[in-house]
Amino acid sequence: MSQTHAVEIRERAIPTGGDALPATLSPLLRRIYLGRGVTRADELDYRLNQLPRPDSLKDVGAAGSVLADAITGGQRILVVGDFDADGATSTALAVRALRAMGAVHVDYLVPNRFRFGYGLTPELVEVARDHAPDLILTVDNGVSAHAGVAAARALGIDVVITDHHLPGESVPEALAIVNPHIGSADFDGRHLAGVGVCFYTMLALRAALRERGWFGAERPEPGLVDNLDLVALGTVADVVPLDRVNRLLVEQGLRRIRAGQATPGVLALLNAADRDPERISAIDLGFGAAPRLNAAGRLDDMSRGIETLLARGQDEANAHATSLEALNRERRMLEREMRETALADIEAHVNAAAGEMAPILCLVADDWHQGVVGIVASRLKERFRRPVVAFAPADNGELKGSARSVPGLHMRDLFEALDTRSRGELILRFGGHAMAAGLTLRSEDFAAFKAGLTELAREWLGDEPVGEALWTDGIPAPQDYCLETASMLRYAGPWGAGFPEPVFHDRFLVRGQRIVGADHLKLRLSPLGAAEREVEAIAFNAVDNGFSQVPGEIEAVFRLDVNRYRGVDRLQLVIDYLAAA
């Protein structure tokens, strides 16, 4: 929740049509689906037979054939993953599936972000030599690993790449590259996460082994659907657009979890987050399980997270998840400390500038942690509605930064423009996208970088932050303020990036308020249009965002949620934004 700067609240336009939607939909849900571009019933059909055929994904057949050769030939396969949740679930899925299909020699390797950085680098290939692989299978990385693939080939190691990131002008010389962005115009799943691409590759591998008569009474064909909870977790955690294909994969994973068929690791992560698996939603994966899994990669080594997902028994998985929960608590503590330091730094600069705030915030501190600067940048961006670049010290006198942007400013383009203007003398390395990017500087260049980036951002943005709009699904009807509507919406998704959870706006009379859990604001509200109704609401992190008390009448953007307390479900509004009415 943020309210440091006022935002414009806009209601989604509802297109005409929708006659092909199910007649049983409530008027509210019909309007919500139409507002997200859903106009036909088949777009809400989440049966597995509605998935796009694997053979429409370029090179997936070739990858399946190479992997089948490796398995039937008893070769050593090394899975090389990434240190985020998508990479961890991709790695675990690949290892589990390969072993289930009869691979005898399977191991995995994930680069430590503090030593190696991202992807299959030549340095990581040197580490991979200790595993003596015949074949490297990359998951959630590799499409830009030209040097790493070349290094592996020089050592006689074959490489198959599965990735979902955008390729450059050329691709590495691997035996096969499975990526929906390469030569797969007819494939509907172009927004697959890394774990989704891995899942499709395992489907192709199973088909290749089936054709060779590999499976039989002594070696039964495995059901890859057993891994769909991993696919759901990685897809939600990586914040890829939830188009129809991704919604189908996520919904199938959620159904398995609710039915008590989750892998021990996913169940342990949910239990550590105090989320009820029988009532699970995509939001619980994104804000419950994923942060605990990501904590391993941010603060330590993602191998700890992968071992959680590979655990065969619940006791083993629970033990791993307990250690991840401890890391997640440490991550939250570091984040709070770093945010407090940042806020003090921002306040000092604002005071020094006679109350004016720079159009972009560039921050660094000697004791900040590389694995947490991205989260801190995101939190500050939400609070101040300005782009933020946060740096932490790295080795060799360098700084590693993580940037988060606002609508209307392409962060990677901004870095590229500064790199051009400075003739390559300020930024050592940079990369990323419009809303998020990363970069590396020399420590002594921070002041010059900050000055140059601020000047450039002022040229692009002016002195005021980019105007931001919060899109909502309108003002609920009085009868929609009820537990039944909240329950319906909870399971009408799955909701996420590109298919946002329903949010509403309204004006309320404040009937009561109190602080809970140190910095959350608990409210009792009555909608102005239905003053006889009283509903509970919570504004998470309100105190931290400067709202320890609200006036008697407020305007809010919120979600209708189900709050279970002591076994009883009650309606609760979760406030994303509030301001005095």
pTM: 0.91
- For the cut 60, the answer to whether the pLDDT of residue 21 exceeds it is yes
How far is Cα 116 from Cα 578, in angstroms, rounded to an integer? Answer: 43
Q: What is the CATH number of domain 8-13+470-580?
A: 2.40.50.460
Rg (CA), the chain: 25
- List helix spans (H) across 385-521: 411-421, 446-461, 483-490
How far is Cα 250 from Cα 245, in angstroms, rounded to an integer? Answer: 9
- For the cut 60, the answer to whether the pLDDT of residue 157 exceeds it is yes
Antiparallel, parallel or unpaired: β 76-80 and 568-580: unpaired
Q: pLDDT at position 5, please?
A: 53
Query: Which band of pLDDT confidence, cut at 50, 70 and 90, is reported for residue 252?
Result: very high
How far is Cα 236 from Cα 293, in angstroms, rounded to an integer? Answer: 13
**Which segment of 115-129, 255-269, 309-323, 496-510 scores lowest on mean pLDDT?**
115-129
E strand or H helix that includes residue 258 = helix 244-258
**Which segment of 135-139, 504-508, 530-534 scores lowest on mean pLDDT?**
530-534
CB 292 within 8 A of CB 321: yes
Q: What is the pLDDT of residues 68-87, one digit of tens each?
A: 999 999 999 999 999 899 99
Q: Which of 322, 235, 217, 233 is nearest to 272 (CA)?
A: 322
| Rounded (5°) CA angle 61-64-69 | 125
Give me the mean pLDDT over the 404-408 stretch: 85
Q: What is the pLDDT of residues 560-569, one digit of tens each?
A: 999 988 889 9
Q: Tell me the three state secondary structure of residue 269.
A: helix
- Where do the structural domains in the chain lie, given as residue ranges? 8-13+470-580, 51-326, 357-461
Q: Exposed, middle or buried by CB within 10 Å (0-12, 13-18, 19+), for 522?
A: middle
Give me the mean pLDDT over the 61-67 stretch: 98
The separation between the first and the last C-alpha atoms of the chain, rounded to the nearest angstrom, is 16
- Count of CB atoms within 10 A of residue 203's CB? 19
Q: pLDDT at position 99, please?
A: 98
- For the cut 80, the answer to whether the pLDDT of residue 104 exceeds it is yes
Q: pLDDT at position 542, please?
A: 82
Supply the mean pLDDT for the chain: 92
Helix axes 314-352, 264-272, angle to 10 degrees: 50
CATH class in words for 51-326: alpha beta
Q: pLDDT at position 3, please?
A: 45
Q: Exposed, middle or buried by CB within 10 Å (0-12, 13-18, 19+), for 19?
A: exposed
Q: Which of 220, 219, 228 is nearest to 252 (CA)?
A: 228
Q: pLDDT at position 163, please?
A: 96
- For the cut 50, the answer to whether the pLDDT of residue 288 exceeds it is yes
Q: pLDDT at position 161, please?
A: 98
Buried b (16+ CB within 10 A) or exposed e, 345-361: ebeeeeeeeeeebbbbb
Query: Which band of pLDDT confidence, cut at 50, 70 and 90, is reported for residue 219?
Result: very high
Give me the mean pLDDT over the 460-475 stretch: 78
Can you name the CATH fold of 357-461?
Answer: Diaminopimelate Epimerase; Chain A, domain 1 (3.10.310)
- For the cut 60, the answer to whether the pLDDT of residue 314 exceeds it is yes
How far is Cα 351 from Cα 229, in angstroms, rounded to an integer? Answer: 50
Q: What is the pLDDT of residues 178-205, one digit of tens each?
A: 999 999 989 999 999 999 999 999 999 9
In the sheet that holds 76-80, the strands lie side by side as 105-109, 76-80, 135-139, 158-162, 176-178
